[in-house]
Structure 1
Amino acid sequence: MLSPFIINDKNLHLDRYPLAQVNRSLQAWDAADEYLVNHIAQHQLIKPGTRVLIFNDLFGALTVNFTESQLFTVNDSFLSICGIKHNLEQNYLSDDNRSQLTSLDPLPDDIDVILYKNPKSKSLLSDQLLKIKQKYSDNVIFIAADRAKEIHTSTLKQFEKYLGTTKTSLAVKKARLVFAELDNPARYNSPFPTVWPLENTRFSLSNHANVYAREKLDLGARYFIQNLPEIPAGSRVIDLGCGNGVIGLTVLAAQEQAKVQFVDESHMAIASARENIENNLPQVMDNCIFHVNDCLTGFEGGSADVILCNPPFHQQTATTDHIAWQMFNDSFRVLKKGGELRIIGNRQLGYHVKLQRIFGNHKLIATNEKFVTISAIKK
């Protein structure tokens, strides 16, 4: 049983999201959250009515401490958005003063304080810092937080480059704060989304800042594309964890009569996938549906012929296989009888064991020194 998040005389119970995770030892906050909340309280920087903008609060550890203020929370992760809402509700905290924004929404006006949790993606860091500087002036208090080992010299240079004068705190419990003055002129434009040619095709791919493989096709996707199943006309296909949608795009390029649903928990990923179909195969847009979702939650059982998936083995900075388990279990439920789940993964992850347990079968389609492509059929 995890201990509660006790800070500033508040006894809060926070869960990671999604709730049904195999590894329940992973907690929903870290030392950087504690350090930032304690710093705010010590210096009385936030009071009722203060307009606070919070970036990248993973599961609400920051949000739940400032519900008496006017809050704006920015997240790219659908799971983080769900986690914040859940943790507010289970602690009986009002959500009336909060506006939830995605990573693609315009930033609000007249902000007093920005609380910033550094994202894992350095490209998302750059994109968000650029947008902050373009929107706000140096009368805004800006404080970032992260694990000390993640705040490198190169990270501080990004704050200096895009925002202005930057200094750091001492480390506490292996966490550190970053203070930026926002005193630089706004002289940079965001390079995102990036656009690059997809090798051996006539297509170009558009990638927003928080989408993996922003400049070229990654090795896993390249190998998966070489080993995709043949898709008959009219098949209902799901590109699960679609990223920029290159797998679904490849399916549609070969079979324009397929019905493809693109699913990812990242708002930037779904925006990229939509743009890539619109820009490369506009004639098939009516055959496509785009979902920001927690795996296949809410999808009708027995509704898909083929599901294609490259499962992630981490959630933010935590290495975990619960997402793969959920993807495989959801796929079994959503596939029609005789339908196929085809995946790619790193060899050492042992996904064949999970597929055998869930589907009762698996077949090795292809393998090389790094990846395996595996098929499982719903009997």
Structure 2
Amino acid sequence: MNRLTTSWGTFPLTRFPADPRDPLRAWDAADEYLLNHLAESGTGLSGAVAVVGDRWGALVTALAAARTAAGAGQLTQISDSYLGRSATAANLARSGAAPDAVTLLTTQDPPPERVDVLLVRVPKSLALLEDQLHRLAPAVHEDTVIVGTGMVKEIHTSTLELFERILGPTRTSLAVKKARLIHTTPGAAAERRAAGANPWPLRYALPGDAPAGLAGRTVVNQAGVFCADRLDIGTRFFLKHLPAGIGRARVADLGCGNGVVGLAVALAEPEAELLFTDESYQAVASAEENFRTHAGDGRKAEFTVGDGLADVAPESVDLVLNNPPFHSHQATTDHTARRMFADARRALRPGGELWVVGNRHLGYHVTLRRIFGNSELVASDPKFVVLKAVKTAGKRTGKRTGEPDGAR
């Protein structure tokens, strides 16, 4: 287990779910830079502090220890990630923090009414940053200290323009270990209101040639959801090759995003029972609104923010549809896909099927054969493949991390 050393102590930190074989740490140089700045300046040790985008809880875990020693008040984390919030809770417990040391909010929860110190870990999604700055602007006052952090490659001119337009004059620090700090001086309340209305969530009409009964339908995307302003080409290809004639099957849209894949199944298969699941609160909120709008309030469906299908009963699903991500923040990895595939096999009934779309170069057919013992090519074009794997009785289920028994 990796340990983060700060001026306030050393903290054992993991991502979630904890996996001793995962080489990725639960913090990076940007987190260290911000924590060092806070320790040197004494910022964040008093007043109401809100931390946005703390990826695995490194920031609030260290701050909770410092603030407990100082007898400080409210400390709030705001996150769109179920995995990130779960990691935060585990890291806080491991550090010995009191259960009420940090208030854990999602991006769908009302933000704090007052913020004296606002700390922002710049997210990968510029849209999510814009949405969160707009949502928090009313809580900011002229004495609020605002500090952002990110790796140099994550901080662009457009990033700084958002801070400046929504909150006030902004500058950056020198780079340390390829990380920077962002310092913003809040403008007056009237100046912040002049930034205009929050453009999120975004609504747009799907193109007239969208497949699977979706042509022309208006969908909603909360900020931060993948491909928020259009139908991405991978999903479009998947929609052309979805299984048909599934009847009363229980279907899981795993990593659902805005839910258009599951929605397409619901429109084509009126007897199917749908489960939409994603680790993003923004994504599941989008999927639910789109489903209710186009499939009707009386249609049976479940909407779950969670760790894939980990909380779904074994052998309770007939069909899993999946367009897995291959990035974890800035890291390119197939770790998430492997875990999703293993989850799918655990959740599927014997004879149940996992259908996957992915870029050709990712080699998902190899991973599927390791986990399921089989993989079939359903469709392909120069960029994408649609693959099918069937749960058979003879293949042993892989481990929870997505790495099958005996693979190493």
Determine the C-alpha separation between the residues in 1 that align with 2:55 and 2:107.
Answer: 13
Determine the C-alpha separation between the residues in 2 that align with 1:316 and 1:269.
Answer: 16
What is residue 399 of structure 2 aligned with on the other side?
A: none
Matches for 1:195-214 after TM superposition, within 5 Å = 195-200=203-208, 201-214=215-228
Determine the C-alpha separation between the residues in 2 that align with 1:313 and 1:320.
Answer: 5
Determine the C-alpha separation between the residues in 1 that align with 2:237 and 2:47.
Answer: 51
> 1:129 offset after TM fit, Å?
1.4
Question: Which string of whole-angstrom CA distances, capped at 9 and with x for unpartnered residues, describes residues 205-256 of structure 1?
Answer: 1000010111110000000000100142211000000000000000011011
What is residue 264 of structure 1 aligned with on the other side?
A: 278
What is residue 223 of structure 1 aligned with on the other side?
A: 237
What is residue 370 of structure 2 aligned with on the other side?
A: 357
Determine the C-alpha separation between the residues in 2 that align with 1:259 and 1:3.
Answer: 42
The reply to whether residue 185 of structure 1 matches residue 185 of structure 2 is no
Q: How many residues matched?
A: 375
Unaligned regions of 5+ residues in structure 2, if any? Answer: 209-214, 393-408
Work out whether residues 242 and 264 of structure 1, in 8 Å CA contact, stay in contact via their aligned partners in 2: yes
Work out whether residues 133 and 182 of structure 1, in 8 Å CA contact, stay in contact via their aligned partners in 2: no
Instruction: Give the TM-score normalised by the residue count of structure 2.
Output: 0.89
Work out whether residues 11 and 62 of structure 2, in 8 Å CA contact, stay in contact via their aligned partners in 1: no
Determine the C-alpha separation between the residues in 1 that align with 2:52 and 2:297.
Answer: 37
> 1:357 offset after TM fit, Å?
0.9
What is residue 344 of structure 2 aligned with on the other side?
A: 331
What is residue 52 of structure 2 aligned with on the other side?
A: 55
Letter in 2 for 1:129: L
Determine the C-alpha separation between the residues in 1 that align with 2:298 and 2:317.
Answer: 18
The correspondence for 1:277, drawn from 278, 285, 291, is: 291
> 1:284 offset after TM fit, Å?
4.8
Matches for 1:77-226 after TM superposition, within 5 Å = 77-183=81-187, 184-187=191-194, 188-200=196-208, 201-226=215-240
Determine the C-alpha separation between the residues in 2 that align with 1:352 and 1:170.
Answer: 45
Determine the C-alpha separation between the residues in 2 that align with 1:135 and 1:233.
Answer: 50
Distance 1:166 1:300, change over 3 A: same
Matches for 1:37-76 after TM superposition, within 5 Å = 37-47=35-45, 49-67=46-64, 68=68, 69=72, 70-76=74-80
Question: Which string of whole-angstrom CA distances, capped at 9 and with x for unpartnered residues, describes residues 44-86 of structure 1?
Answer: 1232x52110001111110011212421110000000000001
The reply to whether residue 4 of structure 1 matches residue 15 of structure 2 is no
> 1:90 offset after TM fit, Å?
1.5
Determine the C-alpha separation between the residues in 2 that align with 1:83 and 1:199.
Answer: 39
Determine the C-alpha separation between the residues in 2 that align with 1:7 and 1:364.
Answer: 50
What is residue 389 of structure 2 aligned with on the other side?
A: 376
> 1:197 offset after TM fit, Å?
1.2
> 1:173 offset after TM fit, Å?
1.2
Distance 1:284 1:253, change over 3 A: farther
> 1:110 offset after TM fit, Å?
2.6
Most deviating of 363-372 and 177-186:
177-186
Work out whether residues 160 and 166 of structure 1, in 8 Å CA contact, stay in contact via their aligned partners in 2: yes
Work out whether residues 21 and 322 of structure 1, in 8 Å CA contact, stay in contact via their aligned partners in 2: no
Instruction: Give the TM-score normalised by the residue count of structure 1.
Output: 0.96
Determine the C-alpha separation between the residues in 2 that align with 1:332 and 1:303.
Answer: 11
Determine the C-alpha separation between the residues in 1 that align with 2:115 and 2:29.
Answer: 25
Letter in 2 for 1:186: R
> 1:134 offset after TM fit, Å?
3.1
User: What SS class does the counterpart of residue 193 from structure 2 fall into?
Assistant: coil
Letter in 2 for 1:280: H
Work out whether residues 2 and 13 of structure 2, in 8 Å CA contact, stay in contact via their aligned partners in 1: no
Determine the C-alpha separation between the residues in 1 that align with 2:44 and 2:32.
Answer: 15
Percent of counterpart pairs with the same letter?
A: 41
The correspondence for 1:252, drawn from 266, 270, 279, is: 266
The alignment's C-alpha RMSD in Å is 1.4
User: What SS class does the counterpart of residue 6 from structure 1 fall into?
Assistant: strand
Work out whether residues 52 and 119 of structure 2, in 8 Å CA contact, stay in contact via their aligned partners in 1: yes
The correspondence for 1:25, drawn from 10, 23, 26, is: 23
Work out whether residues 231 and 251 of structure 1, in 8 Å CA contact, stay in contact via their aligned partners in 2: no
> 1:128 offset after TM fit, Å?
1.1
Letter in 2 for 1:228: L
Determine the C-alpha separation between the residues in 1 that align with 2:43 and 2:324.
Answer: 41
Letter in 2 for 1:20: D
Determine the C-alpha separation between the residues in 2 that align with 1:157 and 1:352.
Answer: 43
User: What SS class does the counterpart of residue 178 from structure 1 fall into?
Assistant: strand
Work out whether residues 115 and 141 of structure 2, in 8 Å CA contact, stay in contact via their aligned partners in 1: no
Work out whether residues 147 and 182 of structure 2, in 8 Å CA contact, stay in contact via their aligned partners in 1: yes
